[in-house]
Structure 1
Amino acid sequence: MKRIVFLSGGIGSWAAGMRVMQKYGSEDIINLFTDTKKKNDGHPHRGEDQDLYRFLNESWEYIGGDLEWISVGKHIWQVFEEVRYMGNTRIDPCSRILKREAARKWIEKRFSPDEVTLYLGIDWTEEHRAKKCRDYWKPYHVEFPLINEPYLSKEDMCIWIEKYEVNRPRLYNMGFSHNNCGGFCVKGGQGHFYNLLKQIPERYSYHEAKQEELFLILGKRVPFIRRTIDKQINYLSLKEFREQIEKDELNNKETLIDIMDIGGCGCFNDI
């Protein structure tokens, strides 16, 4: 029986893999990493954060087994252009094509459902996502090692990896809730993008420019940052969101954004 750990480059999937190793050993483990850009693409803001690759390379051998590194060969903005759709909090063609479908095709080509078990890094705080994942991956069997006791927080997992003298992913130290897509995610909320703007402004600028390019290609503006004022929902582009923050700061005015609105990544979890 092969055991495929969906290794995302984040601390949760690493901890899930470690629990699989502790229970079954390393011999039959395959760590499957789906990259959101071409391997060896050196662009600093397209796809994953460079520190993710550092963390992945330093941490996966503690799980053991094999590492399979796959890529569709395109990045998220190419996906949006090809499907002619701006991803948002509800529909994510980026993770569907670059993550879920890529992984499923790889698995189906090599294993029948009775030859393999799949493992995802959903933890005890996200148990509500498990049923959708099981339904999506049928007829393959899926397990979630972090749902079980002893329950671990993200900080617990980071302390765990640091016992092996491996530094946690730098994005966690910068206040991001996940370590995927370089801190960018169309499912992110106001607080998420405020943090990206303040922590990595050059990366925010890259995505802002790509979004404006996509709007021109689509022939319409379809932003995804949702903001509610006086019970009225409106949507802001990355450009509009940044300009509003800069305007408020220039006028010493309190910025009307919800810092606690994080949202964010769920590439394998939100189907």
Structure 2
Amino acid sequence: MLNHIIFFSGGKSSFSVADYVKTIFPDDNIVLYFTDTMWEDEDLYRFIYEASDKLELPMLINSRGITPPQLMVQQKFMANNRVGTCSKELKMKVSSNFLKKGIVPEVEKWHNRHHLKADDFISDATIYFGIGFEEMHREGPIRHNWKPFKVEMPLIENVINNDAVLAKYGIKQPRLYDMQFTHNNCKGRCVKAGQGHYKNLLIKDEKTFIELMEQEIVISDYIRYAKQSAIRSGKVKDYMYKDVWEFVSTGNKSAKIQHIIDSNKHTKNWIFGKSHKGQDIKKQFTFMKTKSLEDLEKEPIQCDMLDIGGCGCFLDFD
């Protein structure tokens, strides 16, 4: 009996891969493996649990137990469409440490574990990714990063209709696809997305867009504040961390946080002291680098709708 681990992202493609593997290897030990950013759309969780139930396959969920915004506050660095630290730390590193080194992360939970056919599901396992021909640029790096595991990407070598596979099990596709997103990650808030992606989020889910925009404003100001040499050296206490952490964790806004959000249009050109290099700190940190979400909200029609982007998890871990 062989081991098969399917990197289960909550997308339609990874579901098709799971069905493919179960069809080809019905008597083998198959595990759905989901690394949770704790920042996903509610309907993604509906989908993965329903998928595990109907496929009758065990699902292992691993997580650091923190969200991308919490990670940004911890690192004092804003992940963006050029550097996806959240993908590296919360997905790639978690899975690599677990599967290669046996390091169990902060959160580990099973669903349908009774379908597991052998407790050791890692030894000599083949791991699978829902990468199709349109993402073949990811194939080489993923295979390299996951050595010595054998890596398979059935959607590159086989013509599989994702919608037909969902219909086979009577499962409704995740709602983000209905909202014209190209993937089902992070509730449409992927920090490596482009202007067209965020424009779609603004149109389809304005509440989530505004929440993300406020997080961008607060985290940006906090990073500039925390980069001051006196703060970095510990000579001056970090008076913002507690309020910022509470905000990105619960959404609760202290008077300090509310002031940052309300006055942003006036403070974005302020100079926030000196960095450890002695340079003025005045940069506004954004997810898209070239334009903030606040700018995009004010000038939505002028954005590049072909600039979609996406995290491309497991692409550049090493």
The answer to which of 48-57 and 160-169 deviates more is 160-169
Structure 1: 5+ residue stretches without partners: 38-46, 227-234, 246-254
Instruction: State the alpha-carbon separation in 2 of the partners of residues 183 and 261 from structure 1.
Output: 14
Q: TM-score, normalised by structure 2?
A: 0.71
> How many residues were matched structurally?
241
1:225, distance to aligned residue in structure 2 (A): 2.3
Q: What is the aligned partner in structure 1 of residue 205 from structure 2?
A: 200
Q: What is the aligned partner in structure 2 of residue 263 from structure 1?
A: 309
Instruction: State the alpha-carbon separation in 2 of the partners of residues 190 and 29 from structure 1.
Output: 38
Q: Tell whether 2:174 aligns with 1:169.
A: yes
Q: What is the aligned partner in structure 2 of residue 232 from structure 1?
A: none
Q: What is the aligned partner in structure 2 of residue 130 from structure 1?
A: 139
Structure 2: 5+ residue stretches without partners: 103-119, 225-282
Instruction: State the alpha-carbon separation in 2 of the partners of residues 207 and 258 from structure 1.
Output: 19
2:42 to 13, 28, 50: 50
- Report the AA paired with residue 303 of structure 2: I
1:243, distance to aligned residue in structure 2 (A): 1.7
Q: Judging changes above 3 Å, is the alpha-carbon distance between structure 1 residues 86 and 61 closer, same or farther for their aligned structure 2 residues?
A: same
Q: What is the aligned partner in structure 2 of residue 224 from structure 1?
A: 287
The answer to which of 260-269 and 123-132 deviates more is 260-269
Q: Secondary structure at the match of 1:32?
A: strand
1:160, distance to aligned residue in structure 2 (A): 2.0
Q: What is the aligned partner in structure 2 of residue 95 from structure 1?
A: 87
Q: Tell whether 2:127 aligns with 1:118.
A: yes
The question of whether the paired residues in 2 share the 8 Å contact of 1:6 and 1:13 is answered with yes
Q: What is the aligned partner in structure 1 of residue 36 from structure 2?
A: 35
1:210 to 201, 215, 229: 215
Q: What is the aligned partner in structure 2 of residue 105 from structure 1?
A: 97
Q: Which structure's residues are more often strand, by fraction?
A: 1
Q: Tell whether 2:306 aligns with 1:241.
A: no
Instruction: State the alpha-carbon separation in 2 of the partners of residues 270 and 260 from structure 1.
Output: 23
1:256, distance to aligned residue in structure 2 (A): 1.9
Superposed, 1:2-17 pairs within 5 Å as: 2-17=3-18
Q: Secondary structure at the match of 1:122?
A: coil
Instruction: Name the larger-Rg structure.
Output: 2
The answer to which of 179-188 and 24-33 deviates more is 24-33
Instruction: State the alpha-carbon separation in 2 of the partners of residues 86 and 98 from structure 1.
Output: 14
Q: Secondary structure at the match of 1:161?
A: helix
1:76 to 53, 68, 75: 68
Q: Judging changes above 3 Å, is the alpha-carbon distance between structure 1 residues 28 and 123 closer, same or farther for their aligned structure 2 residues?
A: same
For residues 21-67 of structure 1, the C-alpha deviation after alignment (integer angstroms, 9 at most, x for no partner) is: 11112640111111111xxxxxxxxx100000111111123443311
The question of whether the paired residues in 1 share the 8 Å contact of 2:79 and 2:191 is answered with yes
- Report the AA paired with residue 126 of structure 2: T
- Report the AA paired with residue 10 of structure 1: G
Q: Judging changes above 3 Å, is the alpha-carbon distance between structure 1 residues 100 and 26 closer, same or farther for their aligned structure 2 residues?
A: farther
Q: TM-score, normalised by structure 1?
A: 0.83
Instruction: State the alpha-carbon separation in 2 of the partners of residues 238 and 200 from structure 1.
Output: 14
The question of whether the paired residues in 2 share the 8 Å contact of 1:28 and 1:65 is answered with no
The question of whether the paired residues in 2 share the 8 Å contact of 1:26 and 1:64 is answered with no
Q: Percent identity?
A: 35
